[in-house]
Amino acid sequence: KPIMPPDLSKCHDAKAPALDNHCCPPYNPSETISEYGFPATPLRVRRPAHLVKDDQEYLDKYKEAVRRMKNLPADHPWNYYQQANVHCQYCNYAYYQQNTDDVPVQVHFSWIFLPWHRYYLHFYERILGKLIDDDTFTIPFWNWDTKDGMTFPAIFQEASSPLYDTKRDQRHVKDGKIVDLKYAYTENPASDSEIIRENLCFIQKTFKHSLSLAELFMGDPVRAGEKEIQEANGQLEVIHNAVHMWVGEPCGYKENMGDFSTAARDSVFFSHHSNVDRLWEIYRNLRGNRIEFEDNDWLDSTFLFYDENEKLVKMGDCLNPTKLRYTFEQVPLPWLGKIN
Ligand code: C2O
């Protein structure tokens, strides 16, 4: 059976010490829940974060959208921190699955990881676009699979900008440090050029090894009533974790990026995930556009997101980004090499 959305009237204290365990949204029992319909907006093109840094017009829009999101009333579902809390709710055990009283809804460590985050970004991006009345607006992707994108994107590093976040590992995000895609709180002593090479090889290896079996890339199945198993995550999720750890503070709760409950409070979260989403799309293409799982327990897993109202979405409906009306600017794939 596919996983179904939780009963929203039953949100529990989350396992989120960094937020004093609170991340439930305000509950509105009269809220109508409707089926999601594919948008009819123009095709939006997501661009690399390191290449938009000189596009002042775009940056002004992005900052203005985030500024407006932060200025919404604290209990507004589009409010910046309410949006960040969505991640906490579905990652830090605020909801239990329907008809269970101890199986949490957890969107990591399984085949739900990529589609759930795809939708999360999609709605977030559309809300930002609405706030500035621009239906072509996109969040940039942090292109960490290419040399020029392997440093922390400068657009998030301007102290006076709404994209700035103080809770980061300053040793990493400052001064063009190269991200280590195998980072786990130990510094890699290799030289920059060596780390770049290791990163590219690692991505290449990841794709090569997982092309024939989607579980290896995407994560293992999880079905209604089943608890997640942390070791069941896919290789792309593992790489993604390293980037989270590398950005978050090295101490305490590793805020913001290093802890599920706070990660989405850092705007760079969405650019990081935009690249994860893009690598999934590349994986799809490399496999001849074959759908990863024909299993209805995957295709029919259902979640709720907030657009104008609560929207019910099925995982199987997000498999084609064009239908969600976004795509990625084509950039070189230096790691691709002789993958096929
Ligand atoms: Cu839900 Cu990058 O994590």
3 in a structural domain? no
Under the banding of pLDDT at 50, 70 and 90, the label for residue 28 is: confident
Report whether pLDDT(340) > 70: no
Summarised one tens digit per residue, pLDDT across range 190-210 is 999 999 999 999 999 999 999
Query: Which pLDDT score is estimated for 230?
Result: 87
- Domain count within the chain: 1
**Alpha carbon of 154 to ligand 1 centroid (Å):** 21
Question: Looking at ligand 1, which atom is closest to the CA of residue 90?
Answer: 1
| Ligand 1 close to Cβ of residue 49 (< 6 A) | no
- 265 CB near ligand 1 (under 6 Å): no
Task: State the Cα angle at 66 between 62 and 69, rounded to 5°.
Answer: 145
pLDDT in tens, 307-328: 877 888 999 999 999 999 999 9
Q: pLDDT confidence of 110, banded at 50, 70, 90?
A: very high
166 burial level (CB within 10 Å; 0-12, 13-18, 19+): exposed
315 within a domain of the structure (yes/no): yes
| Partners of 303 in beta bridges | 313
Question: How far apart (Å, rounded) are the C-alpha atoms in residues 98 and 94?
Answer: 13
Pairwise CA distance, residues 298 & 292, whole Å: 10
Number of helices (H), then strands (E), belonging to the chain: the values are: 10, 5
What is the spatial distance between Cα 16 and Cα 94, in angstroms, rounded to a whole number? 9
Taking 60 as the threshold, does the pLDDT of residue 4 lie above it? yes
Q: How large is the average pLDDT for residues 147-176?
A: 96
Say whether pLDDT at 63 is over 60.
yes
4 in a structural domain: no
Q: Write out the catalytic residue numbers.
A: 87, 108, 117, 240, 244, 260, 273
Mean pLDDT in residue range 120-146: 97
| 278-301 residue pLDDT tens | 999 999 999 999 999 999 999 999
pLDDT at 228 over 90: no
Mean pLDDT score, 224-235: 93
**Edge-to-edge strands, sheet with 33-35:** 33-35, 310-314, 302-306
Query: Is residue 125 domain-resident?
Result: yes
SS3 35: strand
97 lies in a domain? yes
For residue 339, what pLDDT is reported?
A: 58
Cα 255 to middle of ligand 1, angstroms: 13
- Judge if the beta carbon of residue 87 lies within 6 A of ligand 1: yes
Q: Is residue 2 included in any domain, yes or no?
A: no
The answer, yes or no, to whether any atom of ligand 1 lies below 6 A from the CB of 108, is yes
Q: What is the DSSP letter of 66?
A: H
Provide φ and ψ at 316, rounded to 5°: -65, -15
Range(s) of the domain holding residue 307: 17-328
Q: Which atom of ligand 1 is nearest to the CA of 269?
A: 2
Residue 211 has pLDDT above 90, yes or no: yes
334 in a domain, yes or no? no
Q: Is the pLDDT of residue 79 over 60?
A: yes
pLDDT at residue 265 is higher than 70: yes
Q: What is the CATH number of the domain that holds 275?
A: 1.10.1280.10
Q: Would you say residue 339 lies in a domain?
A: no
Extract long-range pairs of 290-295: CB within 8 Å, 24+ residues apart.
291/319, 292/111, 292/214, 292/217, 292/218, 293/111, 293/214, 293/218, 293/221, 295/221
